[in-house]
Structure 1
Amino acid sequence: MEKMLRVALVGYGKMGKHHIKAIEIQPNSELVAIADPLFADESADHQISSSISLFSDVEEMFEKAKPDVVHIVTPPETHTDLSRLAIKHGCHIYVEKPFALSLEEAEKTLELADENKLKVCAAHQVLFQDSGQKYRKDLELLGNTIQIESYFSFKTVRQYTPVEQLIDILPHPVYLLLDAFEKSNNNSEGGDALELVNIHTDPRGEIFALVKQHDITGHLNVSLRARPIESYLHLRCSNGSTHADFVLSGIQKLPGPGVSAISQVFIPFSRARQLMWGTISTIVKTIFKKHKSYAGLGELVAAFHNSIHENSRPPIEYSTILNTVSICEKVAEQLKEHESAYLADEEQKLLDIESSLTETDSQLGTILVTGGTGFLGKVFCQSMRDDNWGVRVITRRVPLPSDRVPGVEYVIGDISDDLPDQYFKDISIVVHLAAETAGGKEEHEKNTIEATRKLIATANTHKVRHFVNISSIAVLKPSREVGGPLNEDSPVDRDNLSRGPYVWGKAKAEDITVDISKKEDIASKTIRLGPLVDYRNFSAPGRLGREVGPFYVAMGNPWEKLFLCDVNTASDVIKYYCSEFDDCPDTLNLVEPDPKKRSELVKMLKSKRKELSVIWMPSLLLRLISISLKFALKLLRPNKKPLDLYAAFSSEVYDTTLSKNVVSKSRIRRSSK
């Protein structure tokens, strides 16, 4: 019987959890240990099998668990040190992207592994998707490669700067480009060295590079701003072309010169046929795939672990790893250089604006804001600063100059940790906008529930007397259970994780706020926001419908009203609470007093998105589809709660009496300024 590989994982973040799934499906591998600093909190429930040992110290993990192979899934700057540590403990290593931040680091790591006769694998998993494997088979038909394009566009992520995100995703299109060079027929014997001819970068989110080897030209394109989201390789060859899509549609190959008139007519039909069947095939495979992880990850892990079992070559060539790191390093150097110049210019623009601002009014005091860099936070902070309030925002990182509100003070801190005393100096009121919006129970417990507890308790310790907690109207039990319309006295859906961790966490945070304010000298108010929109720059809320290609499927009946909250209304009301705290209701369900009809909202969307064609799905049809879907899901997944499609899009009805009163007062106060 083949010996089971003892596998350890370093890093228990989002990607680490995907690695757990990938390791679990390997027949001859066993996950025996995970190391992450968060395991220092022994009281936390991490929902990990008791057969897996948890360590907060990686050295202790090596000594006690004695793994054969280690997957390193930690922040990039830690990869090299952890790789060398694992090798010194006799472990083969799998390293997440980027493998290393410099060519020198990568070379030393690979040399150390060779000296110790250990294997190394880099996280080039996109190559192991179906498209990454299949396009290679077409190359024999296509003749010599002339041009290669590797393109990758991605959505921006708030917690990273554009440059940080570009550096993070860059390895994917780079190693795909290099693989196409290596597999090309006219490059089979190697020969000329890879030459990085030119690089152009824009720190707002763009990379273009020109690469040459032998008589092949490669184009590398990466964008955070171009749409739609795409990831593909396109090879143009002497006898046709092939397009490998890594998002959904698979391979579209067009063999032959395609120069005759009949060929020109046939090409679009061939491409359309392959596009349709490739997309259908990918969707079906995704639905029925048991291993729900990043595409290609399980396959790459299998290939790497098998190479250890069989003592064969690892699946990713070391030359590819080094070339990938080398190109990424050179691009990153230029990105950082351009970013430095760009930020200096933006910083000066901000300083120029701030120099012309009116001084803050000391009689108003200073407000402390959490979540001040978000959608509502930025509007609120701008409004308060316009009224000459002092505004201090706690943030995990200072925003880029272009994202800061002029005149606002930004201080670095995590509200789930202890905060410095000076952050509460001269604070008259705390406005708590921050909450976890992603992850599971664990993340929401830390970043919503415990963060709220710590923040209000710390504010009380520093003799801050007013606390405004911004909650969500979603914490209320639905009207189908308790009757409607819903109002401020409607019951809160407490301790109900089936509503999702966000609602669960918000409901608990409300209770904590009320409990502490009753026991201590800090008074609290809670504002439950309806779904936020910006009527001045409208984007459709989820309950209105869904965008499907060139169509917008509007759910429900056109005449139905949808209760929302405009971000400017929310800002005005919170400002009113700051100014007239004692006169404000303890709890407020904040929605627009005169809600718009679904048809009005769709019209607003169409005025901004003229390319969309609207299709209405009436409530009766939506209900029938929802019932059928629930029945089918119960049969397919009897142990899971089925999706209620109708409930996801149906409109709750609210009693807006109190909201109308407060909104009216807040607008009168704004107009009097």
Structure 2
Amino acid sequence: MTINQVNRAPAVSGPIRTAIVGTGYIAEFHARAIREAADVQLIATCDANLGRAKAFAGSWSIPLAFDSLSKMMQETRIDCVHILTPPDLHFSLAKTALEAGVHVFLEKPMCTMAAEADELVNLAAERGLYLGVSHNFLFSAAFVRLRETVHSKQLGPIDHITFNHFYELGQIRFGPFENWMLRNPGNVILETGPHLVSALLDLAGTPETLSVTADRKVTLPNGAEIYRRWRMRTTVGRIAIDLNINFAPGFPQRTIYVRGLFGSALLDFDADTCVIDQRTPLDVDFDRFKRSRGIAAQMRAQALAVLTRYGLGKLKLMRRGNPYQNSIQDSTAAFYTAIRKLQPLDVRIAGNTAREVIERCVEIVKASGIDTSVTTAAPASADRPLLAAPPTVLVFGGAGFIGKELIRQLLAAGYCVRAMVRNSTLPLDEFRSDRFEISRGDIGNRADLERAMPGIEFVYHLAHAQCKTWGEYLANDVEPTRLVGEVCLAAGVKRLIYTGTIDSYYAGAKAGTITEATPLDPNIRRRNYYARAKAEAEDILTDMSQNQQLPVVILRPGIVIGHGGGPFHWGVGRFSENVCEVWGDGRNKLPFVLVSDVAAALVRAIKVPGIEGKSYNLIDSPLLTAQDYLQDLQERADLRLTVLYQPIWKFYLADLAKWIVKVLVKHPDATRTPSFSDWESRTQKAQFDCAAARSELGWSPASDRQRMLDEGVGGALQPWLEATK
């Protein structure tokens, strides 16, 4: 018996007190949705990493932050929790919450197996609690229109439905490879499949015998195997069903096509449109014209409605946002409406529905015939080679583009290395060495840093956070750098090497020649947050060097290219699929440098004596313009890009328009006034003199145009080409 049948949930007096468990990417969407829900208060957040929980709580003005669900429920009254953790934690966390008498709203998938889902459904029913699962795609405006069209029989008896989910899964190429989704070849279907299967169940019903093909297998750096393409065929009564998933690079497309006796419908999730095509009473030729005009009119009206909702949402004249945010907002609102009115949950988010979704996803994996018996996880310490000697070099940010190459070169040079990572994206087989070990930890946690320090003489700080607001940069980038400096001082390390960025300079048309003696941009407070955060971190370390004798060396790489980096580099222009908007006319030579040369300079920075307190810019000789780079990229990849050479004032005016809107709606990010020089710096028209790095570090970068093209463009392009095969 379920909550949908008995409605025994206790009434909540006053506002519903809600908490978020798990502060990853999806958490901010749920936070917005909770804030927009009627009579609901977001009063706490919880994450296994207390620092992340506090940072998230601070950015959303949430009163309380915890690192344990049990502790949170013991210390404050919670009526409901949103569980947004990796799927393998859903069952245990949801069970804990339900046993404590708390309603639960889960991100999909509900669990990783039907038996776990059954237990949760039964437990919720026994306790009289609501258990919902956010199949948010089913609440998009486009799907609601399709749903109503199909269920009202407007298209007549349905004959065929095709579901397409063509969307690159970036983790396959870039990691983190320890992500739950990549630990088993079937997990990608348990994670992504619910989007398609929940829609299938809602539109047609329970599928019958499945035929499944999984191909385009990829072996990840950690040894796990993933299938990038899945093709499924089934039937529901007279309805033929095709489900297609492709995780490889390519044009993104998430659609549902429905064919009925009286017409057809095409839904586009990303555009949030659903157009209906039906015959008219006209003759064939006029009918064709009328239908085409009708489809165009529907597309125009719906596209305008999507844009209007987004614009009014930004102006806070409507409680709406982009289509994805709206879908989560509506699924969340449906959940709280049911709790408040003590009525059954909408079938789209009900526990029973979510349980069937998981059962069908498991059937898809089983029908594919792929081997799911092996689950790849982080190697236990016992699985790693015994160290030949204690590590003396510690790398923060070793899982990044430059960090991986640095570790390769340090090991090749004979150093014993320890890399501290939060979620490893390191190719463990490649780095399986008796001179290398991994330490798990968070750079923002002092205890983790101190645990990683024993025996360390040299520290590299290459880590940086991906943030949206200045407050997030301060919490996740700047303050952790201060913490690293303090821990290095306490440990008495011989040298700390920090990687800044040339982006912290003004590098526009009036910059002239930049050397290490050139000050960072005096107007850095008006620059982009990444450049500003790096400059702020440099100031902190420089102050520690001058006043506390911290032995620090700062290296500022230019536009780093090469193997392991993305070929569509934003140092050249702003890429969006096949479109590149170049910063300016693209004729000046850019400050490129190969990742292998940057790593070589980093290794030299612990070999050369007497350079504490100094900084060095790492840029090769001027060899390539943006035009050169893009021409070579297109030739090597055998593709054609739409290249737009945009004047900087266009970027600046667009930024200014966004800022005006932020001011009008009192957005917290409105404190940063747009800067023309910030955008102009992206043209990189300055000249960089790196004689100091060459002479004092003994650094010899490529300085060869063909090598820059072969390694910089070709090296970055190779993994991308392999991923598209």
Normalising TM by the smaller chain, what interval?
0.7 to 0.9
**Unpaired runs of at least 5, structure 1:** none
Q: Spell out, residue by residue over 1:48-67, the C-alpha distance to the aligned partner (whole angstroms, 9 max, x if none).
A: 67784555554454456434
CA contact (8 A) 2:580 2:642 kept: yes
Q: Tell whether 2:452 aligns with 1:430.
A: no
Residue from 326, 329, 332 that aligns with 2:359: 326
TM-score (norm 2): 0.75
Shift of 1:314: 0.6
* 2-structure distance, mates of 1:474, 1:106: 50
SS in 1 for 2:154: helix
* 2-structure distance, mates of 1:446, 1:199: 46
Q: In structure 2, do the counterparts of structure 1 residues 40 and 200 end up closer, same or farther at CA, with 3 Å as the change threshold? A: closer
CA contact (8 A) 1:127 1:133 kept: yes
Q: Paired residue for 2:660? A: 634
Segment of structure 1 superposing worse, 10-19 or 328-337: 328-337
Q: Tell whether 2:419 aligns with 1:393.
A: yes
Equivalences for 1:554-633 in 2 at 5 Å?
A: 554-582=582-610, 586-594=614-622, 596-617=624-645, 619=647, 622-623=648-649, 626-627=652-653, 630=656
Q: Paired residue for 1:653? A: 686
Q: Paired residue for 2:19? A: 9
Q: In structure 2, do the counterparts of structure 1 residues 227 and 602 end up closer, same or farther at CA, with 3 Å as the change threshold? A: closer
Q: In structure 2, do the counterparts of structure 1 residues 64 and 337 end up closer, same or farther at CA, with 3 Å as the change threshold? A: same
AA at the equivalent of 1:437? Q
Q: Paired residue for 1:66? A: 77
Q: Paired residue for 1:137? A: 148
CA contact (8 A) 1:369 1:430 kept: yes
Q: Paired residue for 1:412? A: 439
Q: Spell out, residue by residue over 1:460-484, the C-alpha distance to the aligned partner (whole angstroms, 9 max, x if none).
A: 555541322111222346669x965
CA contact (8 A) 2:399 2:426 kept: no
Segment of structure 1 superposing worse, 419-428 or 121-130: 419-428
Segment of structure 1 superposing worse, 594-603 or 38-47: 38-47
* 1-structure distance, mates of 2:540, 2:301: 53
* 1-structure distance, mates of 2:502, 2:278: 57
AA at the equivalent of 1:466? R
Q: Paired residue for 2:162? A: 149
* 2-structure distance, mates of 1:125, 1:466: 50
- The CA RMSD measured in Å over matched residues stands at 4.6
AA at the equivalent of 2:699? S
Q: Tell whether 2:398 aligns with 1:372.
A: yes
Q: Tell whether 2:541 aligns with 1:473.
A: no
CA contact (8 A) 1:150 1:173 kept: no
* 2-structure distance, mates of 1:378, 1:472: 18
Q: In structure 2, do the counterparts of structure 1 residues 336 and 507 end up closer, same or farther at CA, with 3 Å as the change threshold? A: farther
AA at the equivalent of 2:121? L
Q: Spell out, residue by residue over 1:329-358, the C-alpha distance to the aligned partner (whole angstroms, 9 max, x if none).
A: 4556799974666979x9xxx99xx9xxxx
* 1-structure distance, mates of 2:697, 2:26: 47
* 1-structure distance, mates of 2:478, 2:367: 42
Shift of 1:432: 2.3
Residue from 166, 176, 193 that aligns with 1:159: 176
CA contact (8 A) 2:589 2:626 kept: yes
AA at the equivalent of 2:325? Y
CA contact (8 A) 2:456 2:493 kept: yes
Shift of 1:527: 0.1
Matched residues, percent identical? 18
Q: In structure 2, do the counterparts of structure 1 residues 444 and 409 end up closer, same or farther at CA, with 3 Å as the change threshold? A: farther
Q: Paired residue for 1:174? A: 194
Q: Paired residue for 1:230? A: 253
Q: Spell out, residue by residue over 1:610-650, the C-alpha distance to the aligned partner (whole angstroms, 9 max, x if none).
A: 5335444353xx42674486368537744535655774343
Shift of 1:515: 4.3
Shift of 1:548: 5.3
Q: Spell out, residue by residue over 1:83-106, the C-alpha distance to the aligned partner (whole angstroms, 9 max, x if none).
A: 333334443321222212221121
Q: In structure 2, do the counterparts of structure 1 residues 494 and 42 end up closer, same or farther at CA, with 3 Å as the change threshold? A: farther
Residue from 335, 341, 354 that aligns with 1:310: 341
Q: Paired residue for 1:94? A: 105
Residue from 542, 561, 579 that aligns with 1:533: 561
Q: Spell out, residue by residue over 1:145-179, the C-alpha distance to the aligned partner (whole angstroms, 9 max, x if none).
A: 33333332243133244761583774554354343
CA contact (8 A) 1:559 1:598 kept: yes
- Kindly indicate whether structure 1 or structure 2 has the higher relative contact order, using CA contacts under 8 Å at least 6 residues apart: 2
Q: Spell out, residue by residue over 1:532-589, the C-alpha distance to the aligned partner (whole angstroms, 9 max, x if none).
A: 2239987243253334565433331243333333323312322332333446981012
SS in 1 for 2:226: coil
* 2-structure distance, mates of 1:545, 1:331: 41
SS in 2 for 1:513: helix
Q: In structure 2, do the counterparts of structure 1 residues 400 and 660 end up closer, same or farther at CA, with 3 Å as the change threshold? A: closer
Q: Spell out, residue by residue over 1:414-470, the C-alpha distance to the aligned partner (whole angstroms, 9 max, x if none).
A: 243435889667655333222223354565445534443444554555554132211
* 2-structure distance, mates of 1:413, 1:301: 35
AA at the equivalent of 1:285? R
Shift of 1:68: 3.7
AA at the equivalent of 1:611? L
Q: In structure 2, do the counterparts of structure 1 residues 334 and 10 end up closer, same or farther at CA, with 3 Å as the change threshold? A: farther
Q: In structure 2, do the counterparts of structure 1 residues 340 and 116 end up closer, same or farther at CA, with 3 Å as the change threshold? A: closer
Residue from 200, 203, 221 that aligns with 2:244: 221
AA at the equivalent of 1:15? I
* 2-structure distance, mates of 1:524, 1:542: 29
Shift of 1:499: 3.7
* 1-structure distance, mates of 2:197, 2:191: 10
CA contact (8 A) 2:460 2:497 kept: yes
Residue from 560, 574, 579 that aligns with 1:546: 574
CA contact (8 A) 1:33 1:53 kept: yes
* 1-structure distance, mates of 2:142, 2:417: 51
* 1-structure distance, mates of 2:595, 2:39: 54
* 2-structure distance, mates of 1:625, 1:448: 26
Equivalences for 1:170-249 in 2 at 5 Å?
A: 170-171=190-191, 173-184=193-204, 194-198=208-212, 200=214, 202=217, 203-206=225-228, 207-248=230-271
Q: Tell whether 2:96 aligns with 1:76.
A: no
TM-score (norm 1): 0.80
* 2-structure distance, mates of 1:334, 1:423: 45
Shift of 1:134: 0.8
Segment of structure 1 superposing worse, 331-340 or 513-522: 331-340
CA contact (8 A) 1:494 1:508 kept: no
* 2-structure distance, mates of 1:631, 1:175: 35
* 2-structure distance, mates of 1:420, 1:54: 22
Q: Tell whether 2:563 aligns with 1:503.
A: no
**Unpaired runs of at least 5, structure 2:** 1-11, 218-224, 314-318, 705-725
Shift of 1:299: 1.0
Segment of structure 1 superposing worse, 395-404 or 332-341: 332-341
CA contact (8 A) 1:547 1:553 kept: yes
AA at the equivalent of 2:438? V
Q: In structure 2, do the counterparts of structure 1 residues 530 and 338 end up closer, same or farther at CA, with 3 Å as the change threshold? A: farther
* 2-structure distance, mates of 1:483, 1:327: 61
* 1-structure distance, mates of 2:701, 2:481: 31
Q: Paired residue for 2:723? A: none
* 1-structure distance, mates of 2:412, 2:333: 58
CA contact (8 A) 1:244 1:252 kept: yes
Q: In structure 2, do the counterparts of structure 1 residues 536 and 425 end up closer, same or farther at CA, with 3 Å as the change threshold? A: closer
CA contact (8 A) 1:529 1:565 kept: yes
